[in-house]
Structure formats: structure tokens, C-alpha cells
Amino acid sequence: LKSLAQREETPALALLNMAEEEGQEVIFTENTAPDREIWDEKGGLIKKGAAEIAERDQDHVPEVKVLTTLGMFAVPVTAETTLGEIRQKVQEWKPEYSLEQIELVCKDKDAWGPLFNKTSRPRDDDETVESLWSDWDIPRRMMQVALWIKEKNEETGEWESTFWKMLEESKCDDWSFQGHTI
């Protein structure tokens, strides 16, 4: 890769050199392309044809991306895959947490803009990928869920949602956003 980066004279060389200096590994995915294939001479994004992209994506496997503070974990899915099944895969990946501690948070189906945050909430185990993601089977589209770890309430011994706790603690009586009271 380094010789390719030098030959192509791309920013990838700078990235590789920085990573080497810091003793870090750089991983390039199948989406990695030389800058000349991404940007035109004026700095504009080169848009690939849908047929060309579809040709490269013959082996597409739909995945739900589980976002964590430590990185991302991908779970292959079908339309019928439930959030409970995804939670079980997360627990296999992170066995230090019990299944009842693992909470997956995402938005409602097709929510974007202001609705993205307004509809984000912990999801029930019986909700399916198809019920939350319109484009679940289209290559280069992704569904993301955030992993939240529940904490045990010292008084009751019950697991409590850290997601709802964060929202409650961040509420402010005179909170306003762009002039609108929340």
C-alpha cells in the first residue's frame, strides 16, 4: 500500500507515515480509492454511475452497524432480523456485559433532520430491521444503532437505562434551541 500511495501521490501516504510514526495500523476498506477517482480537477466529487456501483456490490450483505465509544461492530441481517437477535450478537461480542445490560438505541423508520433525535429511543427486542430501516437491502445504505449499557440501581437492584438517564440529566427548564423552547 505504501508504494502505491507514493506512486499515486495521495494523502494516503501522509496517513500511512503518521500511522507508522505512532505505531498504529491503518486499515483500508474496499471503498478506498485514489483521490483522482473521487475528486475532479476542480475539487468536485466525481459521481459514479448507479450501474457501476451496483456491479461492484454483487456480494452486498446488509448489516446493522452497532456504534460504541470503542468503535463499530457490524451484524449481518435480513428483513426479519429482530433487535433482540442483534442484542444477542452484541453480547457475544462484548461478553463482559449481560444481555439485560445491553440496550440498543435508534431512530424511527425514515426519520431524518429534527426527527432523528426526537424519535431516537431504546428499541424493543421484537422490532425488526425492516420495521426500522426502509433501505435495508440496498447496497451502501446502513442502519446504525447506538449501544448503551444499563447501570444497576443500588436501591432497587434493577437495571436502568443510561440513555433515558442522560436525557433526564441534560434537561434544562430554560433550554432553547434557535429561539424555540424545548
List, for residues 121-146, the tens digit of each pLDDT value: 999 999 999 999 887 777 767 788 99
- pLDDT for the residue 5: 43
Tens-place pLDDT, residues 30-42: 455 565 666 666 6
Whether the predicted pLDDT of 8 surpasses 50: no
Alpha carbon separation from 47 to 28, 44, 114, 125, 138 (Å, rounded): 21, 9, 28, 39, 18
Neighbouring C-beta atoms of residue 139, cutoff 10 Å: 14
Give the 3-state secondary structure of residue 168. helix
**Which phi and psi (to 5°) does residue 142 adopt?**
-145, 155
Q: Is the pLDDT of residue 86 over 70?
A: yes
For 163-172, write each residue's pLDDT tens digit: 988 888 877 6
